[in-house]
Chain A
Amino acid sequence: MSEFALKTELPKYLRDQQQSIEKIARDFGLDPFPTVFEILTYDQMNELAAYGGFPTRYPHWRFGMEYEQLAKSYEYGLSKIYEMVINNTPAYAYLLEGNSVTDQKLVMAHVFAHVDFFKNNYAFRATDLDAGGRILDPIRTQQPYEPNRRWIDKMANHGARIRRHIERYGISRVEDFIDNCLSLDNLIDPWQRFTGEPEAAREGEDEEAIEVPRLRAKPYMESFINPAEYLEEQRKKIEQQREKRKRFPENSQRDVLLFLLENAPLEPWEHDVLAILREEALYFVPQMQTKIMNEGWATYWHSRMMTEKVLGADEIIDYADNASGVLATSKGRLNPYKLGVELYRHIEDRWNKGQFGKDWEECNDYEVKRHWDMRLGLGASKILEVRRLYHDVTFIDEFLTPEFCIEHKLFTYAWSTRNGRFEIDSREFLAIKEKLLTQLTNFGNPFIYVEDANHKNRGELLLRHDHQGVDLRHDYAQEALRALFRAWKRPVCIATLSDGRAVHIRFDGKDHSTEDNV
């Protein structure tokens, strides 16, 4: 691969801008990967965006669908993509041809902050590869840290592999199987890379007679020191543990796709396709985990770099016009760019003034808190630390404060059945925080685990939905089960709640059924 994936190098005046903006970014303490900029026409931009930013992907109709949506909304003047940046080594960033120089400079500043975030945020270590292109276990990453993230090459290889399968088995068969895998591709464990590989299978232990350990006692004290009920209870506990060991998987498993890869009777090409789709799903996980932080970070820095160093007096209006569009909160919705950047500013301000720690937490005097300023100047280093160690959930959990909610007029809203509209529900800090965290947790996906691979002792696959208040969408669940059946090739079912009743939704290869789970 040449240095430029699409051979569309920047013209000189933009290359000069790139160099000077990169220097400014590094002077501010940012530490991005080397970044390759390319400039694209809107059509190329739409094509590339449809492929998720990667010039070569496997063939699939949904990329064509994405393309149609992007192309239409551009042609009808509804939206346009200003920039795209790919978490890769080197990082790739794409500029839109025909934007004003002011816009291009803004985008470059924005991009360098994104790339800094890719390199330094811990969640993104889950996308590190080894020399052979396999995903590395981030916990075992060596120092000094020089990651390899040649995902553009990796995705291109995936494309080549799937094209080969298509040549051999036909487009319909392969595409149909890909659709099946896509139906299941939210059933991965986003934190798996940080919990280590799943435990190796246990060596076969002999079944021993159950013997409950007793305390030593004189015979006449025996019934008091080791009461019969207690012994019986212990015996049951051990029995249960043994029973559990016989179960498979031993503990519920979050990564359903991995479980299928290791245990489902897949043909070699199916195995390959599923493995590819799982890896690609894992690649996009960190970007979902850090949407608010990542966008906030890029917005924070482009605004500082632009207003403090880059802009000329003749550009400030154009810049402000564009920036206000990006940060606008439309009709009461929360804008992740805005929430992120304001939280970073809030943190910086608090750490500059020393508004943290035990004394601050325990202070109840509003006036004292308002004028609290210890002149510590720790803000700059604090936000660099935050961008390294947090992701959206911990970011909101730790740094969203009641003061912030009041200052930025945050609220929760809910559907009012009585009035048939969305209404403002509450301005309570805890309610806002809970709602935000709920939205972010697992990216709005249900928690689903593999529970039993030998359900009813008939080799059926049982999944369990950890019900946290919201039911599954029934028809979609049925279709997802159909896809699961395609991989497992035995009847499949999922245990969940429906209107408060415990049910099993089941698919046996021909028919769907829903039965009460007793």
Chain B
Amino acid sequence: MSLKIDQDHNRFRAIVRGRIRQNLKKYISHGELIGRKGKDVVSIPIPQIDIPRFRFGEKQTGGTGQGDGEPGDPLGGQEQEGDGTGKAGKDAGDHVLEVDVTLEELASILGEELALPDIENRGKSKIISAKDRFTGIRRVGPESLRHFKRTYREALKRMVASGTFNPDRPVVIPMPDDKRYRSWKTQSEPVANAVIIYMMDVSGSMGDEQKEIVRIESFWIDAWLQSQYKGLETRYIIHDATAREVDRDTFFRTRESGGTMISSAYKLCNQIVSDHYPVDEWNIYPFHFSDGDNWSMDDTMVCVELLKKELLPRSNMFAYGQVESPYGSGQFIKDLRNHLGEDDRLVVSEIHDRDGIMGSIKDFLGKGK
């Protein structure tokens, strides 16, 4: 086999990492491998470079399909382009299979793609749970735990030793003494618990696109942290000028109008942590998303104080993601950087559009905290 794909592959990786050919950087995008998790279709991020050509702008020109339904009925499945474009015919038959991907697999794919480090537990593992593991073999036990292979091996040993084994007619019959059973030991394991507290600005300036970005991003954050912690809880807080705790569904649907007081959310978050999540038992991850508009500088200073005194010392990491919107001034991230820039428990990230999601996840989770 004398193929040279390694060379081309290395060169592609070097371009993606930005080591060479900087002029191609703007064409790099992520996504496109479609997997499936339960009912959700997820796309697995892999880098791609799209060579610009003269082509049509509108994607949503429709196409032809096959199946039941009346005009006006929605088309199943995800938005995809019609089969019109595409580099047909390069190879005659690559059949795409849709497979179920478990959340764990997804997380490991994500971790591998973004080169995320495993999270260092910061020693909050006081809860102990007991677990049974099969570790050995013994001579007595219930039939349901009989070790088939070991039992026959014993029988064979006995027959060979006693000279009753006939190689031309190799029939092995175990006797009660030959029976072997699995045995177990009880082990105690420390369990690390974690809670994610999502906070989102739902004031008028956060549009549907901004919320969709938050939704996608939180899906991946959940996936990753779940792969790192066995018991993961999530709480949701929405805020405009006041804050309240809601369920997941409401979190992504609510749209309020009116002003923004970020401190209201931070106060509520602090309250939830104090009431339910003692710091020495829980790993705490507050994530806050907004478009960066706060009501006043005074309120921002309240936030900074709250972070400094209460939230940062209690959290493994406090993450702030600023989603770009046409209405937001984006001032808040600058204030945070000014006042708390040197504190490495605070991670801030700006998300310009959907393509920015992966970069921002890497910002948040790349430090391994």
Contact = CB atoms under 8 A, between A and B. Distances in A.
Q: Do A and B bind each other?
A: yes
Interface of A: 6, 8, 44, 47-53, 55-56, 59-65, 67-70, 72-73, 76-85, 110-111, 114, 172, 175-176, 179, 182-187, 284, 286-288, 290-291, 294-295, 298, 325-326, 329-336, 338-339, 408-415, 419, 421-427, 432, 435-436, 438-440, 443-446, 448, 465, 470-477, 479-480, 483, 494
Interface in B75-130: 75-77, 79-80, 82-99, 101, 105, 109
Contacts of A331: 67, 75-77
Interface string B15-58: 10000110110000000111100000000101111011111111
A64 B11 contact: yes
B101 A76 contact: yes
B55 A412 contact: no
B136 interface: no
Contacts of B83: 333-334, 336, 439
Contacts of B296: none
Nearest to A83: B93
A435 B49 contact: no
B82 A439 contact: yes
A51 B1 CA distance: 14
16 contacts: A62-B49, A63-B5, A64-B13, A68-B46, A69-B48, A76-B105, A287-B88, A288-B88, A333-B63, A334-B63, A423-B75, A424-B65, A438-B84, A472-B54, A472-B56, A473-B55
Given A50-B5, A62-B49, A79-B96, A333 B89 contact: no
B69 A424 contact: yes
A83 B15 CA distance: 30
Contacts of B52: 183, 475-476, 479-480, 483
Given A78-B33, A331-B67, 4 more contacts: A78-B44, A85-B92, A176-B23, A334-B66
A113 B23 CA distance: 44
A424 B20 CA distance: 46
A80 B8 contact: no
Among all A-B residue pairs, the 5 with the closest Cβ atoms: A287-B89, A331-B77, A64-B12, A64-B8, A439-B84
B3 A44 contact: yes
B92 A114 contact: yes
Given A59-B7, A336-B83, A421 B74 contact: yes
B6 to A, nearest CB: 8
B30 to A, nearest CB: 12
Given A291-B89, A332-B65, A332-B67, A64 B5 contact: yes
A433 B11 CA distance: 44
Given A411-B65, A413-B63, A61 B2 contact: no
Contacts of B60: 414-415, 422
A421 B79 CA distance: 8
A186 B51 CA distance: 11
Nearest to B72: A423
B342 interface: no
Quick one: which of A44, A446, A471, A476 has the most chain B CB within 10 A?
A476
B54 A477 contact: yes
Contacts of B7: 59, 64
A333 B80 CA distance: 9
Contacts of A335: 66
B153 to A, nearest CB: 32
B1 A179 contact: no
Given A336-B83, A427-B71, A62 B64 contact: no
Contacts of B68: 409
B11 A412 contact: no
Contacts of B90: 49, 52-53, 284, 287
B186 interface: no
Q: How large is the interface on B (under 10, 10 to 19, 20 to 34, 35 or more residues)?
A: 35 or more
B132 to A, nearest CB: 32
A330 to B, nearest CB: 7
B131 interface: no
Contact of A78 (B4, B72, B86, B99): B99
Contacts of A175: 21
A114 B92 CA distance: 8
Contacts of B144: none
Contact of A184 (B10, B53, B101): B53
B62 A78 contact: no
Contacts of A6: 1-2
B181 to A, nearest CB: 36
B73 interface: yes
A381 B53 CA distance: 42
Given A48-B3, A412-B63, A79 B94 contact: yes
A427 B68 CA distance: 10
B9 interface: yes
Contacts of B13: 64, 68
A69 B29 CA distance: 13
A412 B62 contact: yes
B24 A179 contact: yes
Contact of A332 (B46, B47, B57, B76): B76
A68 B53 contact: no
Contact of A443 (B72, B76, B88, B91): B88
B70 interface: yes
B61 interface: yes
A52 B61 CA distance: 29
Nearest to B27: A479
B92 A67 contact: no
Given A50-B5, A175-B21, A62 B51 contact: yes
Contacts of B11: 59, 61, 64
A440 B84 contact: yes
Contacts of B72: 423-424
Given A64-B5, A294-B89, A473-B57, A329 B66 contact: yes
A64 B54 contact: no
Contact of B54 (A48, A50, A494): A494
B33 A76 contact: yes
Given A114-B92, A439-B63, A67 B9 contact: yes
Contact of A411 (B69, B74, B77): B69
Interface in B290-347: none
A441 to B, nearest CB: 9
B215 to A, nearest CB: 15
Nearest to A336: B83
A82 B58 CA distance: 33
Contact of A183 (B51, B73, B75, B93): B51
A476 to B, nearest CB: 4
Quick one: which of B35, B56, B88, B92 has the most chain A CB within 10 A?
B92
A471 B57 CA distance: 6
Nearest to A426: B71
B5 A51 contact: yes
A176 B15 CA distance: 12
B75 A421 contact: yes
A295 B64 contact: no
Contacts of B89: 284, 286-288, 290-291, 294
B93 A110 contact: yes
Given A85-B92, A294-B89, A68 B64 contact: no
B246 to A, nearest CB: 24
B64 A81 contact: no
A413 B65 contact: yes
A473 B56 contact: yes
Contact of A435 (B20, B35, B56, B62): B62
A326 B95 contact: yes
Contacts of B86: 443-444
A330 B67 CA distance: 9
Nearest to A412: B64
A424 to B, nearest CB: 5
B359 to A, nearest CB: 19
Contact of A334 (B3, B12, B65, B73): B65
A295 B92 CA distance: 7
Nearest to B36: A78
Nearest to B82: A439
